[in-house]
């Protein structure tokens, strides 16, 4: 990391710069090497590299890559890359990170990087007896799984535990599921875990006399959790005609809706995933795995509910937290193949998968706060409209400072249309 200096994530006026100026400022802020930012500017993945990643490649598909500002996570400034097509997400995260900064930023933690591999064992006349037999051989099975990946083992990873669950009721009757808990260190871990599960299968059949069917990782990675918390001083929440207390209480009331109602919880959690997925994608990680884990975790009590929690502390400040599975890696897969994924990891200066997980969950929490604040005050459309208005202003021919001026007037008038933008430009003599 010789090229990385301690960056600041506070870049006031960044959104007003041209694309080229933003890249230059980012380079200066992060001190990243010219080579990586050349990768970035070249729009990342070439068709040649893509051809080695999946089958039947005919090209690549690009998304906008933005940078969320103001994030202070565990005392460190982080510039957060976000790949997403939806307007307002990057701005929302950046703004909430600014408010959270006033309360010390985000404090994030993560559990050990343990993934679960599942091995389904069928055709057992006595599931309880077979379960005990497997538990009696736990150490031997763990030793075998542990020897599968010497590189991972050398890095301190490997098999950690073996659990045997009885599935009593299923369409095919009772069967067993062996859970292999595997420390995958800085990898996402699917390959290591799937290989270990496949390796254990013959031994499990020999011990039980049963038949092993599926051998695959579980995306409900509830032994690999990341948590983030923030405190927003209540005065920071005030804006326009809204006192801070009203905004705070509005956010808590909105959260209560998601806690109690699964229709709302789905949308509430989608807002969290707007932030989470954007960073997961920017770092070349598997966002379907993260989505699957998030929603299964949100339903872990048997009832689908909010992933986040909002309340107030003794001083009346808004306090939020988010805990969710976060199976992301910084080695292997697209994280090492995709040039933009590599640049994203460098930009954030992350050294471990745990650190990346902590950043992602903090962005999810900021994004959730952005949505709840907008929804419980002026509504979501106003924020969307300001970005939309900029696009309309540009389409009408505005350039430079005029873009913001025309856009702001249209938003104030609540008329965001190209004919109005043209008229404003005309009135301004342009
Ligand atoms: C839109 O992409 C996300 C929101 O619907 C999230 C929410 O309702 O909390 C605004």
- Short-list 170, 176, 164, CA closest to 212: 176
Active site residue 205: no
pLDDT for res 34: 46
Q: Cα(39) to centroid of ligand 1, in Å?
A: 32
Residues near ligand 1 (Cβ within 6 A): 86, 267-268, 270-271, 274, 371, 375, 380
The answer to whether the CB of 160 falls within 8 A of the CB of 189 is no
Per-residue pLDDT tens over the stretch 69-101: 999 999 999 999 999 999 899 999 999 999 999
pLDDT for res 42: 57
pLDDT for res 94: 97
Ligand 1 atom index nearest CA of 268: 9
Q: What does the alpha-carbon distance between residue 238 and residue 241 come to, in Å, rounded to a whole number?
A: 8
pLDDT for res 323: 98
Taking the CB of residue 272, how many other CB atoms lie within 10 A of it? 26
Q: Cα(408) to centroid of ligand 1, in Å?
A: 23
- 17: its two tokens: 């710069």
The answer to whether the CB of 166 falls within 8 A of the CB of 131 is yes
Which of 265, 274, 277 is the best mutation target for the ligand 1 pocket, counting ligand atoms within 8 Å of the beta carbon and taking the most?
274
Cα–Cα distances in angstroms (integers) from residue 139 to residues 45, 155, 162, in the given order: 44, 21, 9
Residue-wise burial string across 207-242, b where 16 or more C-beta atoms lie within 10 A, e elsewhere: bbebebeebebbbbbebbbbbbbbbbbbebbeeeeb
The answer to whether the CB of 372 falls within 8 A of the CB of 255 is yes
Which of 271, 274, 366 is the best mutation target for the ligand 1 pocket, counting ligand atoms within 8 Å of the beta carbon and taking the most?
271
Q: Whose CA is nearest to atom 4 of ligand 1?
A: 271
Taking the CB of residue 31, how many other CB atoms lie within 10 A of it? 15
Taking the CB of residue 404, how many other CB atoms lie within 10 A of it? 16
Residues forming beta bridges with residue 181, ordered by sequence position: 116, 161
The answer to whether the CB of 352 falls within 8 A of the CB of 186 is yes
Ranges of residues in the chain with a pLDDT under 70 are 1-6, 31-43
Strands 308-312 and 114-122: unpaired
pLDDT for res 285: 96
Active site residue 286: yes
Q: Whose CA is nearest to atom 1 of ligand 1?
A: 271
Per-residue pLDDT tens over the stretch 95-143: 999 999 999 999 999 999 999 999 999 999 999 999 999 999 999 999 9
pLDDT for res 4: 45
Q: Cα(47) to centroid of ligand 1, in Å?
A: 34
Residues forming beta bridges with residue 227, ordered by sequence position: 109, 323
Active site residue 86: yes
């Amino acid at each position: 990391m010789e090229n990385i200096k301690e960056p600041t994530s506070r870049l006031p006026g960044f959104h007003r710069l041209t694309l080229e100026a933003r890249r230059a400022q980012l380079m200066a802020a992060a001190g990243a090497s010219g080579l990586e930012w050349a990768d970035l500017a070249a729009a990342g993945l070439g068709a040649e590299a893509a051809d080695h990643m999946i089958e039947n490649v005919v090209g690549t598909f690009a998304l906008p890559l933005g940078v969320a500002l103001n994030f202070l996570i565990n005392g460190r400034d982080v510039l957060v890359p976000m790949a997403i097509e939806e307007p307002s997400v990057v701005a929302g995260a950046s703004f909430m990170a600014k408010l959270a900064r006033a309360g010390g930023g985000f404090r994030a933690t993560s559990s050990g990087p343990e993934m679960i591999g599942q091995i389904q064992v069928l055709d057992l006349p006595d599931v309880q007896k077979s379960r005990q037999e497997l538990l009696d051989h736990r150490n031997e099975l763990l030793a075998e799984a542990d020897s599968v990946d010497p590189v991972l083992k050398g890095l301190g990873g490997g098999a950690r535990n073996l659990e045997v669950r009885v599935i009593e009721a299923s369409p095919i009757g009772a069967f067993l599921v062996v859970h292999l808990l595997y420390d995958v260190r800085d990898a996402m871990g699917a390959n290591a875990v799937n290989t270990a599960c496949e390796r254990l299968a013959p031994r499990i059949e020999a011990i039980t006399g049963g038949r092993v069917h599926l051998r695959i990782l579980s995306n409900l990675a509830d032994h690999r959790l990341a948590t983030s918390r923030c405190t927003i001083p209540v005065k920071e929440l005030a804006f326009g005609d809204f006192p801070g207390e009203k905004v705070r209480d509005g956010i808590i009331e909105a959260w209560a809706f998601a806690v109690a109602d699964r229709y709302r919880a789905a949308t509430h959690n989608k807002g969290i995933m707007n932030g989470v997925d954007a960073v997961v994608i920017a770092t070349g990680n598997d966002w379907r795995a993260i989505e699957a884990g998030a929603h299964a975790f949100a339903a872990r009590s048997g009832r689908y509910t909010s992933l986040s929690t909002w309340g107030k502390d003794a001083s009346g400040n808004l306090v939020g937290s988010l805990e969710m599975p976060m199976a992301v890696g910084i080695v292997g897969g697209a994280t090492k193949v995709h040039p933009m994924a590599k640049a994203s990891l460098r930009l954030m200066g992350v050294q471990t998968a745990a650190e990346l997980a902590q950043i992602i969950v903090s962005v999810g929490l900021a994004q959730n706060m952005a949505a709840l604040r907008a929804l419980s005050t002026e509504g979501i459309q106003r924020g969307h409209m300001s970005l939309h208005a900029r696009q309309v202003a540009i389409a009408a021919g505005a350039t430079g400072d005029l873009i913001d001026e025309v856009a702001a007037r249209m938003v104030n008038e609540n008329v965001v249309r190209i004919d109005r933008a043209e008229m404003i430009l005309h009135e301004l003599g342009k």
